[in-house]
Amino acid sequence: MANNSNLSKRAALRRQQELEERQARQKRMMGIGLGVLAIIAVAIVAIVLTQVVGRNSNVATPPNATEGHGIQLVSQDTKPSGEVPHLVIYEDYQCPGCKSREQEYGSVVTQLVDEGRITVEIRTAYFLDSVNRDGNAKSSSRAALAAAAADAVGKYREYHKVVFDNQPNEGAGFSDEQLRVDFAAQAGITGEALTEFQKLYDDKAYANFAEKSYKAMSENGITQTPTFTVDGKELKFYDEAAKSVLIEPTAESLMEAIEKLKNS
């Protein structure tokens, strides 16, 4: 009887140990399950918040945004009276050709704007994001966001010029420090305006606008930068076949070409 009693005790102890082990496993599994549920819950909340925020942020437009998703150059002198030609410029801040065109004709374009003889909007592409290296990813799109933020503080024209003046070799890109600090200083953005500019840049406030501006390029059949158009027709600066310049970097030469294209 004693042996049977001992066997029964050992069996009971074994069953208790097995029960405790099962309970421990269940607790561990429950803990893991609750942890997974918690992660899922956090993820769901994050998705919902992202959707809510997404509906209310990154949807702003710069003060001088156009219906065509460009930014209009504002005259600093004479406002246009009556109907004047409207010039649309497509460019990428990392495009070497855009830099050359800006440096050669930029002051002429702004002169005609200030004289009230034309209106101008700039639509920015960022297809050259794909060439960036050395940690400065998406430099073209970040420059577009920064330029839009500069428009919000009344310094678009100045900032636009500064970015092209400081364009690096293709592929090197712009750093955030350059875009939000160095170029802002060179463009004359200071004080409260600088604080606002940097917040708009950091928050990517104009991301949706920049994307629409880029899409406007393909939607209008534009395949390269820089491209200048008047009423949807491309303004040619150079005759490839004749190897000759068609428009001199003077106000009169550019104005004559614009009017000729508009009336063609």
Mean pLDDT, rounded, for 88-112:
97
Percent of the chain with pLDDT over 90: 68
Contact of 148 with 209, CB cutoff 8 Å = yes
- pLDDT at 81 (0 to 100): 76
Cα–Cα distance for residue pair 228/76, rounded to 1 Å: 22
Q: Are residues 192 and 252 in the same domain?
A: yes
Q: Are residues 43 and 169 in the same domain?
A: no
Torsion of CA 128, 225, 166, 214, to 10 degrees: -60
Q: Are residues 16 and 79 in the same domain?
A: no
| 164: in domain | yes
Amino acid at 260: K
Would you place residue 208 in the very low, low, confident or very high pLDDT band (cuts 50, 70, 90)?
very high
Cβ neighbours of 15 (radius 10 Å): 10
Would you place residue 121 in the very low, low, confident or very high pLDDT band (cuts 50, 70, 90)?
very high
Give the length of the chain.
Answer: 264
Q: Are residues 154 and 253 in the same domain?
A: yes
Pick 59 or 221 by higher pLDDT.
221
| 62: in domain | no
- Which residue range is the domain that position 32 belongs to? 1-57
Q: Are residues 43 and 125 in the same domain?
A: no
Q: Are residues 252 and 130 in the same domain?
A: yes
Question: Counting beta carbons within 10 angstroms of the beta carbon of residue 5, is it exposed (0 to 12), middle (13 to 18) or buried (19 or more)?
Answer: exposed
Q: Rounded to a whole number, what is the largest CA-CA distance in the chain?
A: 121
| 123: in domain | yes
Would you place residue 12 in the very low, low, confident or very high pLDDT band (cuts 50, 70, 90)?
very low
Would you place residue 59 in the very low, low, confident or very high pLDDT band (cuts 50, 70, 90)?
low
Q: Are residues 30 and 93 in the same domain?
A: no
Q: Are residues 48 and 89 in the same domain?
A: no
| 201: in domain | yes
Q: Are residues 30 and 158 in the same domain?
A: no
Write the DSSP symbol of residue 128: G
Q: Are residues 76 and 49 in the same domain?
A: no
Write the DSSP symbol of residue 131: G
Highest mean pLDDT: which of 22-31, 162-171, 196-205? Answer: 196-205
Give the chain's domain count. 2
- pLDDT at 99 (0 to 100): 97
Q: Are residues 170 and 259 in the same domain?
A: yes
CATH number of the domain encompassing residue 199? 3.40.30.10
Q: Are residues 110 and 230 in the same domain?
A: yes
